[in-house]
Amino acid sequence: MYIIKNAIQNIARNKGRNILMGIIIFAILLTSAISIIINITTDEIITDYKSRFGSEVYLNFDSERWVAEGKPQEGISMPTPKQYIAFSESEHLQRSVLTGYMLFTPDGFKFPDKGNGSANTGGGSSGNGGIITEASQDMLIAEDHVLESADFKNGIRRIIDGKEYREKNECIISKTVADLNGLTIGDIIKIKDITENSDESIALKITGIFEDYANPQDDEFAGMLGANKCDILTNFDTAVACKWFETAGQVNAIYFLKSPDHLEAFQKEISEKGLSKFYRAATDEITYNQIVGPVEGLSKVTNTFLVVVLVLGSIILILLSTLAIRERKYEIGVLRAMGMKKGKVAIGLMTEILVVTIICLVLGLGVGSFAAQPVANSLLEEQIKIAEEGSVLGGGSIILTPMTNNGTELETLSEIEVRLSGGAILQITLIALFLTIISSAAVIVYITRFEPMKILSERN
């Protein structure tokens, strides 16, 4: 108790030296607090986005390999619907999102003609090798959990009557088709194969009617599929069960790995299942870099700044402690001559530094928690400018809007919200203890190396 009491009194006796020491420790802890608070937040963001983009996998055509092998036309085979489905059964996947697109002909009900505005009832001959003309073909989209798709989430489409389909051979139809045919919830419609010589058809029960609010002239996808894009939606299993799906259908697949580390194993597995060597499983690196690049740059800047501050600060503290020893030689010599053991003298001096450090720690945490946000905003803004300038100098520009797997817009990270977390407090506290040890190192070495008479004689 005497040691602690005397240490506290010594702080007041040596105000000048301790104030100078406190200013340096406070400056180090303040900058450390700001850097660590920003780093923890950026690390959480980076980890989150790495998990999302690293686990979300697409099958892309490897044009570089194709060119390198002399652009061989044979051997290039797009994945078939069956292959996409087979790939989704991999043990390396957490889940997969499969969307089917299939041409069909309406059987016994009117359908809006995308070509001239007249109604098409299907069943007419095309005079084109047994294939119904384009005006007689319509597109069915098959996807599970349709309300989670981009169009419904963004308000482009909305169910105005009934509900989403749940079971196989259920569907929802557009208001245009419902009004044209007088269809209501619970009615049955039939669609059939697009080939003239095929009588295969399937019956679909209507569970809902949706309104399409998109402007076809402003929608590139709408222009490809017709004025109403698609007027019948059903679940994926319903489309796959159709015999003509293999010839008249396509599949868009997005796979989600259990971990980004499974990418190589997943690539090997799907290659063994028949995927062409010119296709590869790839993550969305472009979108990831566009969104997270400035945040990663911010993290690197603050990490570098933290290391520089700790190194320079530690050197300054060691120099100050060494100089302080000269002023306190007599005090240390007297205490040792009075019989106080080396350990107790060292504890007393360390307690002085520890008390100063604790005061600086509290102030550093308080000021740092408020200062971290504006500093983060300023640094992030600078990183965004650097990224944009670098993109322009490299011959491009950041003009694409990042999209999620279901087509919804994903905002770039133009600002981050930092906060003082428990992890940050722990790390800053450990840095404070490190500074205490560094500051006490010179004193401890001096005390342990010399005897009392040697210390007193050096002072004289």
pLDDT digits (tens, 9 = 90+) for 239-297: 888 888 878 888 888 888 887 778 889 999 998 888 888 888 887 666 667 777 777 78
Residue 421: left (phi > 0), alpha (psi -120 to 50), or beta?
A: beta
The residues that bridge with 64 in the sheet, in sequence order, are none
Beta strands in 89-130 (DSSP E): 93-107, 111-112, 119-120
- What SS3 class is residue 392? helix
Evaluated on CA atoms 247, 208, 106, 169, the torsion sign reads positive
> How many Å apart are CA 27 and CA 325, to the nearest integer?
23
The residues that bridge with 143 in the sheet, in sequence order, are 99
Which residue, 203, 205, 206, is CA-closest to 161?
206
Q: How would you classify the pairing of strands 56-61 and 279-283?
A: antiparallel
pLDDT of residue 134: 38
Fill in the DSSP letter of residue 263. Answer: H
Helix-then-strand count for the chain, H and E = 15, 12
User: Tell me: the pLDDT tens digits for 160-187?
Assistant: 999 999 899 999 998 988 988 999 999 9
21-30, 288-297, 355-364, 369-378, range with the lowest pLDDT: 288-297
Q: Do the beta carbons of residue 261 and residue 50 sit within 8 Å?
A: no
**pLDDT-above-90 percentage for the chain:** 9
Count CB-CB contacts under 10 A for residue 158: 12
When pLDDT is cut at 50, 70 and 90, the band that residue 233 belongs to is very high
Q: Do the beta carbons of residue 235 and residue 168 sit within 8 Å?
A: yes
Which secondary structure element, helix H or strand E, spans residue 79, and what is its range?
A: none
Q: What is the mean pLDDT of the chain?
A: 76
Calculate mean pLDDT across residues 112-131.
Answer: 42
Q: Do the beta carbons of residue 25 and residue 356 sit within 8 Å?
A: yes
Size of the chain in residues: 460
When pLDDT is cut at 50, 70 and 90, the band that residue 411 belongs to is low
Angle between helices 285-327 and 15-55 (to 10 degrees): 160
Highest-confidence segment of 94-108, 273-287, 400-414, 441-455 = 94-108
Asked whether the predicted pLDDT for residue 203 surpasses 80, the reply is yes
pLDDT of residue 326: 67
Which secondary structure element, helix H or strand E, spans residue 197, and what is its range?
A: none
Single-letter code of the amino acid located at 383 = Q
> How many Å apart are CA 350 and CA 432, to the nearest integer?
13
Q: Say which residue, 250 or 457, is predicted with more confidence.
A: 250
Q: Say which residue, 123 or 18, is predicted with more confidence.
A: 18
Q: Which residue has the tokens 């990490």?
A: 303
Calculate mean pLDDT across residues 37-59.
Answer: 78
User: Tell me: the pLDDT tens digits for 85-119?
Assistant: 899 888 888 888 888 988 888 888 877 765 444 44
Asked whether the predicted pLDDT for residue 447 surpasses 70, the reply is no
pLDDT of residue 330: 66
pLDDT of residue 362: 92
The residues that bridge with 44 in the sheet, in sequence order, are none
Count CB-CB contacts under 10 A for residue 394: 8
> How many Å apart are CA 165 and CA 159, to the nearest integer?
11
When pLDDT is cut at 50, 70 and 90, the band that residue 192 belongs to is confident
Asked whether the predicted pLDDT for residue 224 surpasses 50, the reply is no
> How many Å apart are CA 186 and CA 209, to the nearest integer?
11
Calculate mean pLDDT across residues 322-340.
Answer: 70
> How many Å apart are CA 31 and CA 305, to the nearest integer?
8
pLDDT of residue 215: 58
When pLDDT is cut at 50, 70 and 90, the band that residue 353 belongs to is confident
**pLDDT-above-70 percentage for the chain:** 71
pLDDT of residue 274: 87
Q: Do the beta carbons of residue 80 and residue 273 sit within 8 Å?
A: no
Phi, psi of 281 (to 5 degrees): -80, 125
Q: Which residue has the tokens 């650097």?
A: 386
Which residue, 457, 86, 9, 146, is CA-closest to 273?
86
Count CB-CB contacts under 10 A for residue 324: 19
Asked whether the predicted pLDDT for residue 217 surpasses 80, the reply is no
Q: Say which residue, 244 or 449, is predicted with more confidence.
A: 244
Asked whether the predicted pLDDT for residue 205 surpasses 90, the reply is yes
pLDDT of residue 105: 84
Q: What is the DSSP string of 352-385?
A: HHHHHHHHHHHHHHHHHHHHHHHHHHHHHHHHHH
> Which residues lie closer than 8 Å to 336 by C-beta, 6 or more apart?
342, 345, 447, 451, 452, 455
| H-helix segments, 76-136 | 81-87
Classify residue 208 as exposed, middle or buried by CB count within 10 Å of its CB (0-12, 13-18, 19+): buried
Q: Do the beta carbons of residue 58 and residue 284 sit within 8 Å?
A: yes
> How many Å apart are CA 56 and CA 71, to the nearest integer?
29
